[in-house]
Amino acid sequence: MAEKITQYLHETPASQAAYSEAKNLIPGGVQGNIKYYAPYPLSFRSAAGAWMTDVDGHKYVDYLLSFGALILGHGHPVVKQALTDVWETYGTSSFGVPYPLEAAMVKKVCSLVPSIEQVRFTNSGLEATLLAIRLGMAYTRRPGIAKFAGHYHGGHEHVLVSTHPVVTSDGPIAKTSESLALPDYYVEHTEVLPFDDIDRCEALLRQHREEVGVVVVEPFQSGYIPVDRDFMQRLRLITQELGMVLLFDEVKTGFRIRLGGAQAFYGVRPDLTALGKVLGGGFPVGAVGGRQEILELASPERNLPNHEVVFHSGTFNGNPVSLLAGLRTLEFLETPGVYETLLDTTRQLRENIEQISAHYGLPVQTVGEGTIFNVVFPSDEVGRMSKPSDVIAAEMSARHRTLRKDLDFLLMKHGVFSKPYNRFSMSTAHDDKALASTLDAFEQSFAALGKQQS
């Protein structure tokens, strides 16, 4: 790996210089901790379609896609036209007051996601999960939540508990604070559940039935690790019986697993859904949707004292830029054949990656569903991974960490970018040229890794 890092330093001097300047002005040189990787992150100057160009002039096929937000790729014509239409139709980027596009976008979301009856818009997925949890706790009048080990729901206090994956066995799961200055209250009022053991989940939820008001879950852990349908369907039944609000955090998976989200894949109707990323067509957005009786707790028409109404506001909530770009994106995905082709392209890419790796004696498994996947090196003991705990155990192993880091830097060398260890997101812009370049990069990278292992 030292050789690859040396080559990385040699080939990306402008990125290194940009980072050296940035870290004196920005904490850690990045506008978000997950955007950092050692020795320094690449700095980019432009993007178009499925491609990005860094400040050193190197071109990459982009599979990060702004952490999955750009399902049409960079600068898609329908998104560009939406921006033009915002100015021509509305004449402003933000009303700060109601206007008809808000209802039009809500109707579109409700038509695609049947569990959603009403919507409140926010400006990020973080804000969406924050509001959804507040609504769920107000509805149940219970002080705590339950979340799953390794699931990430944004950087606010209630969910910054046990966000790093753990492999569990019988017994309680250790609750860990994931930030300096996180008040003890939030750790104490958050129960942590295992993602692929529904019997243990049920026992823990029954044990804490008086405290837990909301069960929040990434229906695909990290956006790409699925659980059995039976698990999710039983979780729905258990939460209904215990009077708990089931919240699906579909910020990553919304419109990416299916147009109806991961809930369409599982055949489950949660009480609340948090959305973001794809919903904004590449612009900041978030949304909370769900049952009307829960969303109505935030209605100012309730004519109750402030402490009896769920407070929610935001200057840029539902702004025309984000909503029209998002609406046009969803409409484009509904065009006959578009989404089906995207799913098929993703499947073919995954199959080809696995075939190439096997050819070089480095069998990997691509884990995911829909338009999201990741590349995992299974441990020798597990072989083909079938459960979330299998994937997590493999990803935590020294073998995977070493090989995956080597692979990511080799892929960057050969013109494919997804940020080290990150999942791969597909877009409609990944055409034959981008896919051919991608497979060539994997071919060269796996060949180098194979020689390294022999």
Coil/strand/helix, residue 218: coil
Q: How far apart are CA 343 and CA 427, in angstroms?
A: 10
Residue written as token pair 């990385």: 8
E strands present in 74-164? 118-122, 144-148
Distance of CA 352 to CAs 106, 357, 361, 419, 433, Å? 38, 9, 14, 21, 15
Query: Which residue of the set 277, 339, 360, 406 is catalytic?
Result: 277
Tokens representing 222 are: 């990290």
Alpha-carbon dihedral angle through residues 405, 256, 228, 193, given to the nearest 10 degrees: 70
User: What is the DSSP annotation of 398-422?
Assistant: HHHHHHHHHHHHHHHHTTEES-TT-
Q: How far apart are CA 365 and CA 404, in angstroms?
A: 12
DSSP classification of residue 58: -
Catalytic residue list contains 277:
yes
Return the sign of the alpha-carbon dihedral for residues 196, 165, 259, 244.
Answer: positive
Query: Which residue of the set 40, 152, 266, 339 is catalytic?
Result: 152
* 286-290 and 365-369 strand pairing: unpaired
H-type alpha helices, 56-100: 65-68, 77-85
Computed on alpha carbons and rounded to an integer, the radius of gyration of the chain in Å comes to 22
Distance of CA 252 to CAs 18, 19, 128, 225, Å? 29, 28, 12, 12
Q: How far apart are CA 320 and CA 303, in angstroms?
A: 29
Tokens representing 216 are: 């929040």
Burial of 13 (0-12, 13-18, 19+ CB in 10 A): exposed
Q: How many residues would you count in the chain? A: 454
Query: Which residue of the set 196, 249, 271, 408 is catalytic?
Result: 249
Tokens representing 55 are: 């400040």
Catalytic residue list contains 405:
no
Catalytic residue list contains 266:
no
> Which residue, among 158, 293, 270, 173, has the nearest Cα to 218 in the 3D structure?
270
Return the sign of the alpha-carbon dihedral for residues 128, 134, 140, 142.
Answer: positive
Amino acid at residue number 178? E
Just list the catalytic residues. Answer: 152, 249, 277
